[in-house]
Structure 1
Amino acid sequence: MPLALALSPHLDDAAFSAGGVLARMAGAGWEVLVATLFTATVPNPAGFALACQTDKGLPPEADYMAIRRAEDLAACAALGARAIHLPLREAPHRGYHSAAALFAGPRSDDMAHLQAHDVLTPLLRDLEPALILAPQAIGGHVDHVLTVRAIQLLDPRVPILWWRDFPYITRADTPRRPFEAMMARFPEIDLPTDPAKKHAACAAYATQLGYQFGGPEGLARALVETEGHERARVQGETPVLARAA
Structure 2
Amino acid sequence: MPDAAPEASIPEVLALSPHLDDAAFSCGGTLARLADAGWRVSVATLFTASVPDPRGFALACQLDKGLPAEADYMAIRRAEDAAACAALGAAPLWLPLREAPHRGYESAPALFGPPLDPDPAEAALLDTLATLLRERRPALLLAPQAIGGHVDHVLLVRALRALQPAAPVLWWRDFPYTARSATPPQPFADSMDVLPEWSAAVDPARKQRACAAYRTQLGFQFGGEAGLARALAAGGTHERFRTADPAALPALEPRAA
TM-score tier after normalising by the smaller chain length: over 0.9
1:41 aligns with 2:50: yes
In structure 1, which of residues 225, 231, 242 is the aligned counterpart of residue 234 of structure 2?
225
1:53 aligns with 2:58: no
> 1:122, 1:136 → 2: CA distance?
22
State whether residues 139 and 174 of structure 1, in contact with CA within 8 Å, keep that contact through their aligned partners in structure 2: no
Alignment of 1:108-187 (within 5 A): 108-172=117-181, 175-187=184-196
Alignment of 1:193-204 (within 5 A): 193-204=202-213
Residues 133-162 of structure 1: per-residue CA shift (max 9 Å, x gap): 000000000000001011012110211000
> 1:243, 1:194 → 2: CA distance?
14
- 5+ residue gaps, structure 1: none
Q: What SS class does the counterpart of residue 87 from structure 1 fall into?
A: coil
1:234 corresponds to which residue?
A: 243
Which amino acid in the other structure matches residue 60 of structure 2? A
TM-score normalised per structure 2: 0.92
> 1:104, 1:26 → 2: CA distance?
36
Q: What SS class does the counterpart of residue 84 from structure 1 fall into?
A: strand
> 1:219, 1:238 → 2: CA distance?
32
Residues 154-205 of structure 1: per-residue CA shift (max 9 Å, x gap): 1102110000000101112972100000102211101132212210110000
Residues 8-63 of structure 1: per-residue CA shift (max 9 Å, x gap): 00000000000010000000111100000000001110000001011111000000
Shift of 1:114: 2.0
> 1:155, 1:58 → 2: CA distance?
39
Sequence identity (%): 64
State whether residues 201 and 237 of structure 2, in contact with CA within 8 Å, keep that contact through their aligned partners in structure 1: no
TM-score normalised per structure 1: 0.96
Q: Greater CA deviation, 127-136 or 166-175?
A: 166-175
Shift of 1:244: 4.1
1:9 corresponds to which residue?
A: 18
**RMSD of the alignment, in Å?**
1.4
> 1:114, 1:149 → 2: CA distance?
11
State whether residues 48 and 95 of structure 2, in contact with CA within 8 Å, keep that contact through their aligned partners in structure 1: yes
Q: Greater CA deviation, 197-206 or 226-235?
A: 226-235
1:103 corresponds to which residue?
A: 112
Question: Could you say if the C-alpha distance between residues 221 and 237 of structure 1 is closer, same or farther in structure 2, counting changes exceeding 3 Å?
Answer: closer
Q: Greater CA deviation, 132-141 or 166-175?
A: 166-175
> 2:201, 2:37 → 1: CA distance?
11
> 2:130, 2:123 → 1: CA distance?
11
> 1:17, 1:232 → 2: CA distance?
10
